[in-house]
């Protein structure tokens, strides 16, 4: 997964511009107490970030 796909998925489920704010401010414990933006900057793979965001947002299995 690329960053563009990660962002598109967040936009789909949270709607832009809230998705951008969420990625910048919401701390996810399973990402090592980092936000999506911090995880991206730290080099965490986008697929791993999405799985953590997916779980945090409690999305349906079909959106995984």
Per the structure, the complete domain to which residue 13 belongs is given by 3-63
pLDDT at 63 over 80: no
Count of domains for the chain: 1
pLDDT in tens, 10-45: 999 999 999 999 999 999 999 999 999 999 999 999
- Does pLDDT of 62 surpass 90? no
A 10 A CB-CB count for 63 gives 11
pLDDT of residue 60: 85
* 49-57 mean pLDDT: 97
Angle between helix 18-25 and 3-14 (nearest 10): 110
């Amino acid at each position: 997964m690329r960053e563009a796909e990660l962002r598109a998925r967040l936009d789909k489920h949270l709607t832009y511009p809230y998705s951008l704010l969420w990625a910048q401010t919401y701390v996810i414990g399973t990402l090592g107490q980092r936000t999506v933006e911090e995880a991206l900057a730290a080099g965490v793979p986008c697929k791993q970030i999405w799985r953590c965001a997916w779980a945090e947002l409690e999305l349906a299995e079909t959106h995984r």
